[in-house]
Copies of this chain bind each other. A is one copy, B any other.
Amino acid sequence: MTNIRDLAREAHVSVTTVSRVLNDHPYVADDKRQAVQAAIQKLGYIRNQTAVHLSTGQTHTIGVMLPFVDHPYHAAILQGIARCAFEEGYRFLTWQTNYVESHEHTVLKALAQREVDGLIVVSHSLSVDEILQYEQYGPIVFCEYHPHASSVYINHYTAFQKGLKALQSLHHTKIGICLGRPDSTNSLARKQAYQDTVIDDARPEWIYEQALTIEDGAHVARCWLNQSHRPTAILTASDHVAAGIILELREQGYRVPEDLAVIGFDGSDLAVVLNLTTVAVPYETIGRHAFSIAISDSWQQHPQTEIPTTLKNGTTASILCTK
């Protein structure tokens, strides 16, 4: 493999001059520049990026920590990151943690070991404080709201409220909700929105937890069926769960929204297909913002960027049917 010293010898210049040519530095005479370029051609030189990384102390790479890459939600954020990264000439490394804490530590160590210039944390199970201890090694941007960290987020409180209020304006008062991991930051905000919005009728048994997948949704539907007092509407935390509920209910001969109104969350392809009413979230935008904060200097001020959500109307939530 030829290196810049070979080029210098070939072009009869110093390595410094070669480096200048490679980096388009202005102080190089035309004849020398051409000589170097000729040498590059002749020897088939290709820059060793690893050496550049070591020398400059930058990798031009951003790490992304997320639990799963194949969830539409996360993939859409990745998409935003990917777009932005490409435009800026950056790379991104993805780590799938499955919410395993030791895996999350691996990712954080990678930042400390200078494998990446910064980190975007899409979702995590370690405590924020634990993660922020690694901020001394580089920027860490969260895709969730955290008051003392750089974060790009949607307001899960108001987003959930949007769904709940929509149901209330359709005259639903008996409203249930589905949550994912019950203790996550997002779930807590959602639960709070539930308690604050469905003030008198919020019931613990109408909060269905651990609902993340289509199968979980089907399970929720079966739970609902077994309840003596049932809500007339359910707001879920993901379109997948909403889909699972709807499919299982149809399977059992129930109708949506007549027997149960359902609102999804995410605004995914599934919502399009099932014509779900859903709280649409611009995930790609979140990814873009997170990336640009990670590579700018602004992260040091721990900026908070809220991304708005919108309610997208489908056919799975309509006015309460009082049989």
Contact = CB atoms under 8 A, between A and B. Distances in A.
Q: Is the interface of A mostly helix, strand, loop or mixed?
A: helix
A272 to B, nearest CB: 6
A138 interface: no
11 contacts: A46-B109, A46-B113, A49-B110, A69-B75, A70-B72, A70-B79, A72-B72, A72-B75, A82-B94, A240-B269, A247-B273
Q: Give the interface size bracket for A toward B.
A: 35 or more
A69 B82 contact: yes
Contact of A273 (B48, B53, B243): B243
A185 interface: no
Contacts of A91: 93, 95, 110, 115
A49 B93 CA distance: 14
A103 B76 contact: no
Contact of A214 (B50, B94, B273): B273
Contacts of A110: 49, 91
Given A76-B70, A86-B95, A91-B93, A214 B46 contact: no
Contact of A92 (B93, B103, B214, B269): B93
A96 interface: yes
B93 A50 contact: no
Contacts of A50: 50, 53-54, 59, 114-115
Contacts of A284: 70
A91 B110 CA distance: 10
Interface centre among A46, A70, A76 (most CB of B within 10 A): A70
Contact of A94 (B48, B76, B94, B115): B94
A166 interface: no
Interface in A236-271: 240, 243, 247, 269-270
Contacts of A5: none
Interface centre among A50, A53, A68, A93 (most CB of B within 10 A): A50
Contacts of A61: 93
Q: Which 9 pairs show the lowest CB-CB distances between chains A and B?
A: A82-B96, A70-B75, A70-B79, A49-B113, A50-B53, A50-B54, A49-B115, A75-B75, A69-B78
A131 interface: no
A47 interface: yes
Contacts of A132: none
Interface in A74-112: 75-76, 78-79, 82-83, 86, 91-96, 103, 109-110, 112
A274 interface: yes
